[in-house]
Amino acid sequence: VTILPLGSAVAQSSATWRRWNVTSTKGQEMAKVLAAAIRMLHSQKVEDPFNMYRYAMTHTMDCPHGNWWFLPWHRGYMGYFEQICRRVTGVKDFAIPYWDWSRVQEVPAVMYEPWLTPTTPGFIPAFNDFYGAFAKQLDYMYHKEFTSDQLAELKIRNYTTADDMWKDIKDPPNGPMFFNISQARGLKKENPKLDEFTSNSASKTQVLLSLSPSDFITFGSAKAAHHSDMSGFGPLEMFPHNKIHNCVGGIVYDIAGQPIRDNGGFMQANLSPVDPIFFLHHSNMDRLWDVWTRKQIAYKKPTTPQGTDKDAWEAEPFLFFVDDSGKVAPHYAKEFVEIGKFDYDYEPGTGEEVVPKSPVAVAANAAPGLTQGRVVASALGAGAPASAKFNLASSTPSDAPLFAKVVIDIPAGGFGSTYKILLNAPADTRNIGPGNPHFVELISFFGHDMMSGQISVVVPLRGQQAASMRALKEQTLSVVREDGHGAGNGRNLKLNKGMAMSGGGHEVGNGARLVSVDILSQ
C-alpha cells in the first residue's frame, strides 16, 4: 500500500480559462457570448472556414464514434471552436459552458434563446437552401482544396465525391442529417425534458459507474484500425452520449415498450454541431474524461492505452481541424490526450467525487476480472430474445463494479437498431424500462458511421443487479431487439415497410447476432 500525496496532477491546476456549468451565473454569461459568436459565425461567407455550417460539416466528414479516438477528436474539435469564438467576439475570458445532464435533466432554458437553438430565424431554413449555398463550395473543396490525405480519409467514410456526401446528408436510408427549421431541434421549449430511458442513462448513478473502469479502452471506447471505423463503445459514449444526442435530436423513447417518436433534429446525426447545444453536451463529456483521468492519476493507474496500443492511438492523424487563424493543418490524437494547450479547467460537477480529495491508499492492483458467458440464443431477430448464460467467477471481488461486455454482429449494409439489455428476466418479459429490476440498459446508436461487423458495448450493471448477480448461481443476460424503433424511427419504419435499399442493404437488424457476453469486474 502506497500513500499518494495530493499533488497538482490530481487536483485541478489553475488554468487560464474555466468552463462553467451553464446554470451558474458565469455559465449563463458564457452562454450569451456563445450566442453572439454563433450569430457571427453564421454571417461568414461559405468560403470562410469559420462559417458555422462549414465548421459543422467537419464533424460530418471526420468525427470518430464507437472507437478509442472519440474522446481526443472531440476535445480538439471543441478546443479550436472555443478559440474561434474568443477570436470573433473578442471576449478574452470566453470558455464553452457545460450541460451537466445528470443534474439538469432537460434542455437548459437559455438554450432556447436566439442563436442558441437551430430554430432561430437566420439559420438555413431547408435542405434545398443549404444545398444551394454550399454545393459549389463543397465541389471546390473536393477539387482544389483537399489534400490527397484528406481525400483518402473521406474515402474511408464512402465520401469519394461531394455527391456521396450530399446523398448521405439529404435522404439516406438511415435518416437525413439536415432538418428544416421547424424540426431543427427535437425537444421543444414546451417540453424540454429527457425521456425516461435517456434520463436513466444520464443519471448520476450511471455516470459514476461509467467512470469506474480502470483502463482507457474499457472507459473510452474500443480499439479500431481507423477513426472512421465503428468497433465498440465504452459506457459513457454509448449511454449518456448517444442518448442525449438522439433525445435532443427528437428520437424520443416515450415509455417502456411504446413506439419511439422521431421528431427530427440536428442532434440525432453527424451535422449535430449545427445545434449549439452540441457544444454544451460535448463540454460535459470532455469534463467527465478529465474527471476520469484525474481519478486514474490519483490511484496510479494508466490514463491512456498501454504499450504499442498507446503508440497507435496517439499517432492517428486528424486532418480537418481549422484553428483560430483559419488554418487547416494535420493534427494528431497525441495533442489532445491532455487538455494541454487549450488550457482550461472545469467548474466541478457530477462525478467529481470519484477523484479523491485527500491522500489515497493505493491497493495492490487487482487485475480486472472476466467471466465468459455462453451464448444460448444468438439471433437478434423479432420474437425471442438473444441470450447468454454464465456463472460469475468465484474470484470476482465482492465490491468491484460489474459491466457486461456485449458483442453483437451487424451484417454489412445494415445499421443500428435499438436493443434492450435485460438481466435474469422471465422469458415472456415485454415492455419494461428503467425502474424494473430486470432492465439493464437500452443500446441506441448515433449518427451515420459505418456500422457492420462486430461491435462491442460495455454496459454498466447497477448495484442491486450486481448484487443479485453475485447471489444467484446461474445468470441470464438477454438482448431484445426493439422492432420499428431505434436510432431514427423514420429510418426503421421505412425499411419495415419493405422499402428496397440500394447497395445490398438489409432490413434493420436482419441477420444481426449476439456474438458474446463477458462480465468484467473493474
322 DSSP β-pair partners: 328
Q: Minimum Å distance from CB 70 to Cu ion?
A: 7
Q: For residue 456, what are the CA distances in angstroms to 36, 185, 233, 360, 521? A: 41, 30, 6, 33, 16
The residues near 43 (Cβ < 8 Å, ≥ 6 apart) are none
Q: Give the nearer residue to Cu ion in terms of CB position, either 63 or 392.
A: 63
Is the Cβ–Cβ distance between 187 and 179 less than 8 Å?
no
Q: Minimum Å distance from CB 59 to Cu ion?
A: 6
Q: Give the nearer residue to Cu ion in terms of CB position, either 250 or 447.
A: 447
Q: Give the nearer residue to Cu ion in terms of CB position, either 63 or 84.
A: 63
Is the Cβ–Cβ distance between 252 and 418 less than 8 Å?
no
Is the Cβ–Cβ distance between 116 and 34 less than 8 Å?
yes
Q: Give the nearer residue to Cu ion in terms of CB position, either 63 or 514.
A: 63
Task: Calculate ∠ Cα 495-194-221, nearest 5°.
Answer: 70
Q: Minimum Å distance from CB 299 to Cu ion?
A: 29
370 DSSP β-pair partners: 520
Q: Give the nearer residue to Cu ion in terms of CB position, either 150 or 214.
A: 150
Q: Give the Cβ contact number of residue 503 at 10 Å.
A: 8
| Cα 368 from chain centre | 25
Q: Minimum Å distance from CB 65 to Cu ion?
A: 6
3-state secondary structure of 168: helix
Q: Give the nearer residue to Cu ion in terms of CB position, either 73 or 134.
A: 73
Q: Give the Cβ contact number of residue 32 at 10 Å.
A: 14
Q: Minimum Å distance from CB 38 to Cu ion?
A: 18
Is the Cβ–Cβ distance between 106 and 53 less than 8 Å?
no
**How far apart, in whole angstroms, are the C-alpha atoms of residue 339 and residue 343?**
6
Q: Minimum Å distance from CB 99 to Cu ion?
A: 15
Of 25, 444, 450, nearest in space to 202 by CA = 444
Of 517, 455, 462, 515, nearest in space to 487 by CA = 455
Q: Which residues of 140-157 are buried (b: 16+ CB within 10 A; e: fewer)?
A: ebbeeebeeebeebbeeb
Helix 52-62 with 25-42: angle, nearest 10 deg: 100
Q: Give the nearer residue to Cu ion in terms of CB position, either 58 or 476.
A: 58
Shortest-Cβ-distance residue relative to Cu ion? 63
Q: Give the nearer residue to Cu ion in terms of CB position, either 63 or 421.
A: 63
Q: Minimum Å distance from CB 172 to Cu ion?
A: 17
478 DSSP β-pair partners: 387, 422
Q: Which residue has the cell 497538482?
A: 8
Q: Minimum Å distance from CB 393 to Cu ion?
A: 36
Q: Minimum Å distance from CB 322 to Cu ion?
A: 16
Q: Minimum Å distance from CB 270 to Cu ion?
A: 7
Q: Give the Cβ contact number of residue 361 at 10 Å.
A: 10
For residue 406 the three cell numbers come to 456485449
Q: Minimum Å distance from CB 278 to Cu ion?
A: 8
| Cα 391 from chain centre | 32
Pairing of strands 418-423, 439-444: antiparallel
Q: Which residues bind Cu ion (CB under 5 A)?
A: 63
Of 509, 499, 487, 503, nearest in space to 260 by CA = 487
| Cα 170 from chain centre | 22
Amino acid at 222: A
Q: Give the nearer residue to Cu ion in terms of CB position, either 266 or 344.
A: 266
Q: Give the nearer residue to Cu ion in terms of CB position, either 63 or 209.
A: 63
Q: Minimum Å distance from CB 64 to Cu ion?
A: 7
Is the Cβ–Cβ distance between 444 and 509 less than 8 Å?
no
Q: Minimum Å distance from CB 74 to Cu ion?
A: 6
Q: Give the nearer residue to Cu ion in terms of CB position, either 62 or 441.
A: 62
Q: Give the nearer residue to Cu ion in terms of CB position, either 63 or 355.
A: 63
Residues in the chain: 522
Is the Cβ–Cβ distance between 381 and 35 less than 8 Å?
no
Which spans in 13-100 are helix H?
25-42, 52-62, 70-89
Q: Give the nearer residue to Cu ion in terms of CB position, either 22 or 63.
A: 63
